[in-house]
Amino acid sequence: MLIRVARSNDIKTLFDIRTSVTENHQSREEIATLGITPESIAEMLATDCCAWVAEFDRQPVGFAIANATEATIFGIFVRPAFEGKGVGRALMQAAETWLWAKNHEEIWLLTGNDPTLRAYGFYLHLDWIPTGVVSDGDFAGEMKFIKRRSHQGLAS
């Protein structure tokens, strides 16, 4: 498996991967209602965000995107056929390492507020801490997870 930084010509692939997932599936139209479009992703990658693509035999199978200004993991998605193969863990490591390098003391992410969801358990397994449900905005009802620098064994 190769993890590499995404380029602007990967944006279509990011959307293909995002819409391939079965859990937390959203269509391109549903994603667009949240303001997530190829144009908005291009702008994010040109400013304060970085994305990584996971490849097996040069086939893109997953991606992660993080926002340095917000100190957040914006998303991690893996094609269903590649779940359970370490793709998500490798992508999370790349995103966390990048955010820690930005000198954040705490990083966060949002996911569905259902402990039976794979993502929920995945984040718990990687030492993310659920802190509460978002009460308003586009992501109302989502669970906020945080991770503090101290969990990384790094000096504060």
| Domains within the chain, CATH numbers bracketed | 2-152 (3.40.630.30)
pLDDT for 41 equals 93
11-18 vs 38-46: helix crossing angle, rounded to 10: 120
pLDDT grade for 82, boundaries at 50, 70 and 90: very high
pLDDT for 156 equals 40
**All residues at 6 or more sequence positions from 118 whose CB lies less than 8 Å from its CB, including other chains:** 23, 83
Compute the distance between CA of residue 38 and CA of residue 23 in angstroms, rounded to an integer.
Answer: 22
Q: Which pTM does this prediction carry?
A: 0.88
CB 82, CB 112: distance < 8 Å: no
If you average pLDDT over residues 42-68, what whole number do you get? 96
CB 129, CB 145: distance < 8 Å: yes
pLDDT digits (tens, 9 = 90+) for 95-146: 999 999 999 999 999 998 999 988 999 999 999 999 999 888 777 788 999 9
CB 17, CB 63: distance < 8 Å: yes
